[in-house]
Amino acid sequence: MEKQLHVITTGRQNDDVLVKIAANIHPYITMLHVREKTKSAKEVSHLIEHLQKAGVPSSKIIVNDRVDVALCLGVNGVQLAHHSLNVSQVRRALPEMIIGCSVHSFSEAQNAEHHGADFIIYGHIFKTASKRDAEPRGVDQLQRVVDQTTIPVIAIGGITPENVRNVIETGATGIAVMSGILEAKSPLQAVKLYKQQLEVWDAQNV
């Protein structure tokens, strides 16, 4: 199965910049997660509408936390965190919606799967500037999560083109990247580098 590349917004870019970047990079990514914690539901919906108008397919858009916005805008799904509605609640209400869940431990991963998540994002794997005070989980813990869950596992945290292979060798379904792409000097060049590493792996493991 082709390895996935998820890009998650950082909350540090204005809408115009983000939309312009997304319009350029979306052909190379699997999913774009709109993760804008400081925005209201209306502001998030406006951003998504701009992304859609710029050509980003709704099928590639995931909304973090805001189930209401995801439903109203007709995007692919929602990404839930510890402060969000429970996976089981969303699954009961919206059985057809794609539900991702952000987890940080093996037990959280098992719980997300048990309650109906379609995939999990697990991390952080390596040291990252966004989580300076937290110890990274590392590839060994990622391996355990991959081995003992049956839903797709997307790894996040400090992943660079240089360490993509170390991550994917665990059997992870893919990777998620934030600033490594969106805040790169050339987001388009950056996304191509990540995509190239995943394609090399895919070609060698057909």
**Of residues 110 and 132, more confidently modeled:** 110
Q: Is 131 annotated as a binding residue?
A: yes
Cα separations in angstroms, 66 against 37, 70, 177: 10, 6, 20
Cβ neighbors of 206 (< 8 A, separation 6 or more) are: none
What are the residue numbers of the active site? 124
Q: How many residues does this entry show for the chain?
A: 206
Domain boundaries, the chain: 4-204
Tell me which amino acid residue 82 is.
H
Give the confidence band of 205 by pLDDT, cuts at 50, 70, 90.
Answer: confident
- Domain 4-204 - what CATH class? alpha beta
Give, in degrees to the nearest 5, the angle at Cα 55 between 49 and 57: 80
User: Over 90: is that where the pLDDT of 189 sits?
Assistant: yes
Q: Is 190 annotated as a binding residue?
A: no
Answer yes or no: are the C-beta atoms of 42 and 36 closer than 8 Å.
no
User: Over 80: is that where the pLDDT of 64 sits?
Assistant: yes
Q: Is 166 annotated as a binding residue?
A: no
What is the separation, in whole angstroms, between the first and last Cα of the chain?
Answer: 8
Task: Give me the half-sphere count of Cα atoms (radius 13 Å) on the Cβ side of residue 54.
Answer: 22
pTM of the complete model: 0.96
User: Over 90: is that where the pLDDT of 23 sits?
Assistant: yes
